[in-house]
Every structure is written in C-alpha cells, then in structure tokens.
Chains A and B, each alone.
Chain A
Amino acid sequence: MKKFCVYALVVFGITCIGSTAFAGNINITGSTTVLPVAQKIAEAYMKEHPDVKISISGGGSGEGIKAIIDGTTDIADSSRFIKDKEIKLALEKGKYPVPFSVSYDCIVPVVHPTNPVTSLTLEQLKKIYKGEINNWKDVGGEDKKIVVVSRDTSSGTYEVWEEKVMNKERIYPGVLLQASNGAVAQAISGNPHAIGYIGLGYVNSSVKTVKVNDIEGSEVTTLNGSFPISRPLFMFTSGWPTGDTLNFINYVLHPQKGQVQVKEAGFIPLY
C-alpha cells in the first residue's frame, strides 16, 4: 500500500512537471480582441509544428497580464499597453513583462444600416457620448433619439475610445453597456437609432461603419496614421522569450506567416 502511494505520488509529480516544463506546450491567455488573431496564428503554427500544443483562452487584457505576473501563462494577449501598477506588481514578484506589438486594430463607430448618417467628426462623437447631442437630427439624421452603446469601462476597446475620442472625459451614465465587440454589433443591428463602436475585425454586414472626420476606418488609414481611433495590439511574455515561445513570437511577427493570418483574422498587419 505504501509503495503504491509513493509510486502514485511520483507519477503525479511527473505529470505536474510535464505539463509545464516539457517542450511543445504554449499557453496563451488574455484580451478577447486579440483572441481571434492568436487563434488563427496558433492553428497555422501547429500545422507546421505538430509537436507543439498551443492552448488559448480569452478573459481580457487584465486577466492576461495578471497571468503573466502570476506565472500561469507563457504569452499574454493585450489590447492595451501594460499599466504602471501592473509593472510594479510584476517587478515585486520578480517578473519582467516584455511587450511585442503584433498588429494594429482600428475602432470604428457603427450605426444601423438604415441610418442615413455617413460621417461624424471626433467632436460630434464626443458630444454624443457625453450626452450633449442626443438627437440624430443634430448630426444630419432623422428626428430620433440617439441610443448610445458603449463597452464596459474596463475593456481595452473602451480605453482606446476614452483616450482618442473622449479625451479622458467621462461618457454620460445613460449610455448602454455591452460586454463584447460581438454584443455591441448585435445591439446595433437590432436598433435603427443606435450608435456604437467595435474593432474593424468585427464589422459585418449587419452594421454600417461611420467615417470619422471624413476618414474611412481601414487598413491604409490606420497604418498611415490618418484614422484617429486606432491602436496597436500586444503580446506579453515573462522575460525575453525562449524555446517554443520565442519560435512562436517570431512566427507571429513574420511578414509571410503570422502577419498573413493577422490580416485574415480581420486585423491590420504590422507591415
């Protein structure tokens, strides 16, 4: 009986170590915005390297960076740069998060396809989200109340919106909240008088994009910097990556490999 216990413990120990230390396992977690990119690249990578297993989960940028700090993941996806508080916490735990910019995202305002409004200025968008403009007729639409849809205040998408559109001013409390890009698109497509904002990768035929300052949100306008609401997406590793993680990051950044997948996932490649 005792012998058996020892044996069981040893086997258990090996499987425990094996799951983290054996070559060929990469854990990725973090931003749901980066999730489709990471998923696409991981699939392609695993096809080329069948011995490597990549497991990906969402949860949010904060969750990903938390996992890097706790050492429970190899790569953290993030739709924002790491915050000062998080860096401090990481250093306290002896971790050194390294950022890799992997692609660009552009956030476009969207309305219902039947809405006649095609272009808004940043100023108008800001006033709509501050509740100062609350009727479509003030921005060239029908005489209807504007239903304003926003993301939850802790999402990376909201942060970009707050920074680029709101200039750090607060959106008014009556704004509707949705918890994901998909849910915003869903809410907009179900309401002819709603306005919201989503990542370019989530735009589909059920919503209509609105130009900002007469500039269409697209790949070209994001990369040349003319579209005002865009941001880089990151992958963080704990310390400079080694082994499989390094190979994977290199693959992600490769113009003919990872970056092709970035484009296929609906995001904007680096080059």
Chain B
Amino acid sequence: MLSRNQKERYISRFFFAISFTSLTILLLISIFLFMEGLPIFKQVSPLKFILGNYWYPTSDPPDFGIYPLIIGSLLVTGISGLISIPLGVMTAIYLAEIASFRIREIVKPIVELLAALPSVVIGFFGMVIFAPFLQNVFHIPTGLNMFNASLMLAFMSIPTICSISEDAIYNVPKSLKEASLALGATHLETITRVIIPASISGISTSIILGLSRAMGETMVVLMVAGGAAMVPSSVFDPVRPMTASIAAEMAEAPFRGDHYYALFATGIVLFLFTFCFNIIADFIAHRYRQIGEASL
C-alpha cells in the first residue's frame, strides 16, 4: 500500500507530466513552424516578403510578397470587430444587468450555441445565401468580398466576446452596484460609471480573444472573402487573408520547395500577430484588474 504522502507525490507528478506534455507539444509545433518557414528568407529578404505587393508563388520567377494578405487579414478582422464588439459587449451588458432571470437563462445558452456552429456552415451560408443577396441589393460585381467575410467572422466572434464579457460583468461585486444605487445614481449611470469600469479588464480580454479568433479563422474567409491577393479599395472588394492563402495553397505546394517555405513563413507572421494579441490581452487583464472593491 502506498502511504498518503507517496500518493500525493505521485498525483502531483502525474499532473505535472500532463501539463508539461502539452507545453512541450506546443513548443515543438512552434519550433517546427519556424524551421519550415525561415528558409524562405534565403530567397527573399524579410522586408520584401512582408512589404512586397505581389504574391505569385508559382510563377517563374516567383514573387513572394504577402503585404496584400496581411492587409486582408487585418482589414477583415478590423471590420468584423466593428460589428462584433458593440453587439457582443452590449448583449453581455443586457444579459448581465438588465435582462430578467428567465430571459437570461434562455438567451445565454443560445448565444453560446452560436459558438458551436461549425465554421464551414457559416462559410456555406455566406457563400450560397448571403453573397447573392449582397450582389442583388448593392449591385456589386461579386458578393464574395471583404464585407461578407467580416460579417460572417463577426457571427463567430460575438459568442466569445459576449460570453466572456458577460461573466466579467456578472462577477462585479454586488456591493459596488448597491453602493452606486444607494448614492442616487440611476441604473444607466451605474452601468456606465461603475459596472463597466469595474469589469473593463474582462471585457478587453473577451474582445481580444474574439478578434484573435476572427484573425485565425480559415474556413470562412477561404469560402467567402473572394481571395484576390490585392489591397482592396472598398469594403466590397475581394481580399485574401493569410489563413485563406495557406489553406488553399499548402496542399499542392511542392514539399520543401520555396512556395512551401513561403506559406510556413506566412504562418509565422500570423502566429506573431495572434501572439501579440494574446500578450496585449494578458497585459490588460493584469493592468486593469479589479482587486477587491477599493481600486475603482
């Protein structure tokens, strides 16, 4: 029989091993990403790679410039954020502060269910239903464009933003709210002056997680963004975000050829972007964290 102490030790080692494994795997994936991506910089300089205007990886001679792809990713994410942040945060405020218990219990699971919709379903919806609708209503040449992709991505990030923000708002200490109301503030004043500032770190985290989901999303942008590798001049122009380019081309890029390396290097750029997002989220979460009730 094991003594209690031994048992404790084994259990703690077991959990250490598990967390260490996932960490190692993550590390190995990053190493692999860099190993497969960096060789392209023997062919083109990093500056030319990032600022180059033309993406013709299979031409002879090839051009590896991902500037239009980076702009595509950023714009699609940005516009989807313009839609999803207000909708997500306001829904969260409504659910946490205004809605009655019964409505909350019905609406919250439905919003969370939206997160469970497979991205390919959302992409298909955008391609088959929303794109022809856009063409007919706005009389634009194609409905597969940046606006369509942004809207579909917004659908995907709203649940993330809403659900995490709602938790943050809901967890604001009751005493803060009661104190505000007791001092004569209206409900609206309490929400804007007390509740939101107190939960701003949670809300910011939710926004950044939502945006990084939008930025990393692949299937939707592959299906509905149109895929033209150029810097768009209007929201109804097609774009090709980095993820779409990688997904569409990786399958047939010659193994360990320049094109293959260039796609992995695109992956590195994407990784750096989402990495920055996460660091910002972490920073905000710590910087503006509400500690107790005194720091407001």
Contacts and interface: CB of A to CB of B under 8 A. Distances in A.
Interface in A70-95: 83, 85-86, 89
B132 A190 contact: yes
Interface stretch (A9-17, A177-185, A228-236, A244-252): A177-185
Given A168-B60, A177-B240, A86 B54 contact: no
Interface in A185-237: 186-187, 190-191, 193-194
A198 to B, nearest CB: 16
A133 B244 CA distance: 27
Nearest to B59: A170
Contacts of A59: 251
B128 A83 contact: no
Interface in B5-64: 54-60
Interface stretch (B161-169, B187-195, B253-261, B287-295): B253-261
B57 A194 contact: no
Contacts of A31: 252
Interface residues of B, number: 40
A261 interface: no
Given A173-B230, A176-B238, A190-B128, A63 B251 contact: yes
Interface of A: 31-32, 59-63, 65-66, 69, 83, 85-86, 89, 144-145, 147, 152-156, 158-159, 162, 168, 170, 173-179, 183, 186-187, 190-191, 193-194
Contacts of B238: 174, 176
Contacts of B254: 62, 65-66, 83, 85-86
B267 interface: no
B255 A69 contact: yes
Contact of B128 (A65, A153, A159, A186): A186
Nearest to B226: A176
Given A170-B56, A187-B127, A176 B142 contact: yes
B107 to A, nearest CB: 33
Contacts of A65: 254-255
Contact of A86 (B244, B248, B255): B255
Nearest to A144: B141
